């Protein structure tokens, strides 16, 4: 059972060239974009983004016993085709050879696997050409797919991070600096599949060891671009974060601050005193902002779920949570004083297919081909 829930955050396509909205507090309702020009002016500035964990073939049959690739693959392709987004952020896109064969003619697919490339586990050395040509069907991986003819690629990089014990983590982020043809604006795309330990307390927060390292590298690159060109890049941060909306991971990302106990390492595993982590990004959740714009919607509510799976209960009852996100920066956030050109991302709409009867359906795989459902957002680059 499906229904399509259209989550509108501001006007989508109408008549008005937007004026710059006033600044608001972090977490407040998104500023409404008012348009006064024709729709063609607006359409040239929009970009659509899909976030989708498509579930690795190599995880069969242990992850979802009833699911097989031959039955899932047509449904995965249907989800991607249905929306035909300009940008597709994929996690667990294994086997990547199938994705390249099927829609590599329409999208440039920048892919990295967790085990590295050509015998090297250090992914940060990969070039854009490496990412475009990399095929590893024996390990989990992630990709950012750009619709051909929509973007010029300026830079592509894998952002590595270290585990608490000092070893290279299997988790990484893909970062792409692109120039959008129709709007003439630059943007920075980051996609990450975070550690799946599902911590629900502030104890041993491995994701909060990885995230500051990733955000520092993003920030370093943005200031590098600023110094060389005077441009300040608007940021989209997508992925399967493996964190529910109230988890410390999302508290850190959306509020900019969290206090937590560091992960314990060493033979004694003694607890360490709490530390406070901060960052300067002013992230908003596209799905949360879209939902809050609906009449009668609860304040600061995320999607009811982005994963639906009954394998944990032996097929008896459904387990669901919200783990997937499309984050963007507050459109009115201040920019560095030496910035000469600052593009902005304004959310115009968000959409996701929702299974309205979770207990009857039990598994998203029956519809999407994965235990996750895709989420989609549209932004205007101004």
Q: Which of 93-97, 124-128, 337-341 has the lowest mean pLDDT?
A: 124-128
Helices 69-83 and 96-103 sit at what angle, rounded to 10 degrees?
A: 40
Q: Considering the chain, what percentage of its residues have pLDDT values greater than 90? A: 46
Q: List, in sequence order, every residue forming a beta bridge with 237; answer none if it has no partner.
A: 190, 327
Query: How would residue 193 be classed by pLDDT, with cut points 50, 70 and 90?
Result: very high
Using the predicted structure, report yes or no on whether residue 21 has a pLDDT greater than 60. Answer: no
In this prediction, residue 133 carries a pLDDT of: 86
Residue 271: φ, ψ to 5°: -65, 145
Using the predicted structure, report yes or no on whether residue 282 has a pLDDT greater than 90. Answer: yes
In this prediction, residue 318 carries a pLDDT of: 65
Whether omega before 129 lies within 30 degrees of 0, making that bond cis, reads no
Using the predicted structure, report yes or no on whether residue 216 has a pLDDT greater than 50. Answer: yes
Closest by CA to 251, choosing from 308, 208, 204, is 208
In this prediction, residue 313 carries a pLDDT of: 55
Rounded to the nearest integer, the mean pLDDT of the chain is 81
In this prediction, residues 7-26 reach a mean pLDDT of 37
In this prediction, residue 274 carries a pLDDT of: 82
In this prediction, residues 288-300 reach a mean pLDDT of 75
In this prediction, residue 36 carries a pLDDT of: 43
Higher pLDDT pick, 202 / 102: 102
In this prediction, residue 66 carries a pLDDT of: 66
Using the predicted structure, report yes or no on whether residue 191 has a pLDDT greater than 90. Answer: yes
Q: Tell me whether residue 373 is exposed, middle or buried, using C-beta atoms within 10 angstroms of its C-beta: 0 to 12, 13 to 18, 19 or more.
A: buried
In this prediction, residue 224 carries a pLDDT of: 97
In this prediction, residue 27 carries a pLDDT of: 45
In this prediction, residues 355-380 reach a mean pLDDT of 79
In this prediction, residue 122 carries a pLDDT of: 66
- CB contact burial 316-345 (16+ within 10 A = b; e otherwise): eebbbbbbbbbbbbbbebeeeeeeeebbbb
Residue with the two structure tokens 């995965």: 76
In this prediction, residue 63 carries a pLDDT of: 65
In this prediction, residue 255 carries a pLDDT of: 95
Note the pLDDT tens digit of each residue in 108-121: 999 998 886 555 56
In this prediction, residues 158-168 reach a mean pLDDT of 88
What is the distance between the alpha carbons of residues 83 and 8, in angstroms, rounded to a whole number?
Answer: 16
Q: Considering the chain, what percentage of its residues have pLDDT values greater than 70? A: 74
Higher pLDDT pick, 303 / 231: 231
Q: Is the CB of residue 161 less than 8 Å from the CB of residue 210?
A: yes
Using the predicted structure, report yes or no on whether residue 217 has a pLDDT greater than 80. Answer: yes
- Greatest mean pLDDT among 55-59, 214-218, 361-365: 214-218
3-state secondary structure the chain: CEEEEEEECCCCCCCCCCCCCCCCCCCCCCCCCCCCCCHHHHHCCEEEEEEEECCCHHHCCCCCCCCCHHHHHHHHHHHHHHHCCCEEEEECCCCHHHHHHHHCCCEEEEEEECCCECCECCHHHCCHHHHHHCCCCCCCEEEEEEECCCEEEEEEEEEEEECCCCCEEEEEEEEEEEEECCCCEEEEEEEEECCCCCCCCCCCCCHHHHHHHHHHHHHHHHHHHHHHHCEECCEEEEEECCCCCCCHHHHHHHHCEEEECCCCCCCCCCCCCCEEEECCCCEEEHHHHHHHCCCCCCCCCCCCCCEEECHHHCCCCCEEECCEEEEEECCCCCCCCCCCEECCEEEEEEEEEEECCHHHHCCCHHHHCCCECCEEEEEEEC
Q: Is the CB of residue 372 less than 8 Å from the CB of residue 53?
A: yes
In this prediction, residues 26-49 reach a mean pLDDT of 61
Using the predicted structure, report yes or no on whether residue 88 has a pLDDT greater than 90. Answer: yes
Q: pTM (2 decimals)?
A: 0.86
Query: How would residue 15 be classed by pLDDT, with cut points 50, 70 and 90?
Result: very low
């Amino acid at each position: 059972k499906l229904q399509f829930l259209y989550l509108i955050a501001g006007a989508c396509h109408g008549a008005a060239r937007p004026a710059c909205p006033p600044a608001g507090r972090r977490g407040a309702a998104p500023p409404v974009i008012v348009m006064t020009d024709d729709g063609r002016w607006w359409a040239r500035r929009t970009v659509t983004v899909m976030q989708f964990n498509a579930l690795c073939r190599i995880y069969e049959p242990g992850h979802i016993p009833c699911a097989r690739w031959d039955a899932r693959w047509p449904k995965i392709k249907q989800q991607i085709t249905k929306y035909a987004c300009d940008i597709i952020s994929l996690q667990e896109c294994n086997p990547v050879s199938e994705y390249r064969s099927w829609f590599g003619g329409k999208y440039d697919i920048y892919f990295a696997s967790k085990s590295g490339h050509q015998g090297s586990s250090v992914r940060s050395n990969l070039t854009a050409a490496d990412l475009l040509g990399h095929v590893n069907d024996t390990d989990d991986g992630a990709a950012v797919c750009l619709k051909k003819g929509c973007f010029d690629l300026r830079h592509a990089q894998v952002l590595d991070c270290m585990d608490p014990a000092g070893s290279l983590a299997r988790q990484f982020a893909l970062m792409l600096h692109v120039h959008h043809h129709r709007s003439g604006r630059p943007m920075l795309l980051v996609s990450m599949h975070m550690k799946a330990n599902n911590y629900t307390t502030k104890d041993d927060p491995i994701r909060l060891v990885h995230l500051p390292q990733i955000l520092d590298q993003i920030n370093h690159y943005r200031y590098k671009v600023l110094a060389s060109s005077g441009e300040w890049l608007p940021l989209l941060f997508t992925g399967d974060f493996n964190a529910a909306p109230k988890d410390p991971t999302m508290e850190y990302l959306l509020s900019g601050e969290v206090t937590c106990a560091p992960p314990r390492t060493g033979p004694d595993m003694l607890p360490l005193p709490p530390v406070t982590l901060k960052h300067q990004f002013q992230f908003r959740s596209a799905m949360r902002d879209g939902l809050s714009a609906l009449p009668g919607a609860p304040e600061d509510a995320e999607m009811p779920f982005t994963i639906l799976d009954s394998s944990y209960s032996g097929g008896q009852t459904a387990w669901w949570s919200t783990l997937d996100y499309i984050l963007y920066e507050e459109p009115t956030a201040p920019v560095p004083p030496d910035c000469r050109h600052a593009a902005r991302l304004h959310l115009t709409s968000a959409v996701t297919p929702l299974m309205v009867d979770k207990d009857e359906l039990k598994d998203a795989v029956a519809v999407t081909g994965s235990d996750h459902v895709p989420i989609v957002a549209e932004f205007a680059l101004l």
